[in-house]
Amino acid sequence: MSILDKILCHKQQEVADAVARMPLSEYRARCRDLEPTRGFAAALSSRSETGTAIIAEVKKGSPSRGIIRADFDPVRIAGDYRDGGATCLSVLTDREFFYGDLAYLQQVRDQVSLPLLRKDFMIDRYQLFEARAAGADAVLLIAAALESAQLEDFAAEAAELGLDVLLEVHDETEIAKSFRVAAPLFGINNRNLKTFTTDLATTERLLPLLPPEALPVAESGLHTRADIERLQRAGARAFLIGESLMRETDIPAKLAELQGGSHV
């Protein structure tokens, strides 16, 4: 069983437990009265025209790396990302494997005005309502974790809730099964979710195959300005970066380096 298989198996029980605590009907009611979302995809598109659009990730750890940042304070980290010029934020909410929590999303939303992505393994429409109620402006849908019909249905439901979708692919097969999905953002994850190894050549290989109307986002394995410039040449217009930022003592300075000083 791959790491992804283990995560998805556990996620089914996690969602069932959440539904038992709070039914979907209650989340539906909560979502009716929320303020409009803050335009996650629009912010990335606008920034990519004039500089480097970075989605900075609030991430305590991962299955492959363990704890990445021991002094983890999601709100303080989000503030550092804002001060460093990040365009948007990604907040890990998976507890079992990535040391996250849905509560982190709400905490960050209350203190930082940047658009937020709920980063998790979405296997049920219930999680879309969870995300919206907790303050997300966008959600991640992973092609490796969902069937084509699920991807289409979840993307449509997300749009009805005002949530942008970042649809993540890892290979040519996943692009083919995702091509009809109405997602404004397509992410190419340079990390293989079965082995958790990374290779920037994945973005270079797959980007020309993406739907032409989607904004391409490069994910994982980005550590330097040279990495970003390499993938910009391949056509990437936004970059999701977590681990290399979380390991820094001076996060705003690292963000400035990754942007080539473009946020100053």
Measured distance CA(215)–CA(230) in Å, rounded: 17
Annotated catalytic residue: which of 14, 130, 219, 243?
219
- Residue 139 near residue 158 (C-beta atoms within 8 A): yes
Annotated catalytic residue: which of 62, 90, 178, 189?
189
Annotated catalytic residue: which of 11, 59, 60, 254?
59
- Cα distances from 10 to residues 30, 95, 108, 151, 253, in angstroms, run 26, 11, 26, 20, 37
- Residue 3 near residue 63 (C-beta atoms within 8 A): yes
User: Is position 14 annotated as part of the catalytic site?
Assistant: no
Annotated catalytic residue: which of 62, 178, 192, 220?
220
- Residue 84 near residue 252 (C-beta atoms within 8 A): yes
User: Is position 219 annotated as part of the catalytic site?
Assistant: yes
String of DSSP letters for 149-197: HHHHHHHHHHHHTT-EEEEEE-SHHHHHHHTTS--SEEEEESB-TTT--
Annotated catalytic residue: which of 57, 130, 204, 243?
57
Annotated catalytic residue: which of 168, 174, 204, 243?
168
Distance of CA 172 to the CA centre of its chain: 20
- Residue 100 near residue 125 (C-beta atoms within 8 A): no
User: Is position 248 annotated as part of the catalytic site?
Assistant: no
Coil vs helix vs strand at 205: helix
User: Is position 35 annotated as part of the catalytic site?
Assistant: no
Annotated catalytic residue: which of 14, 119, 174, 178?
119
Which are the catalytic amino acids? 57, 59, 119, 168, 189, 219-220
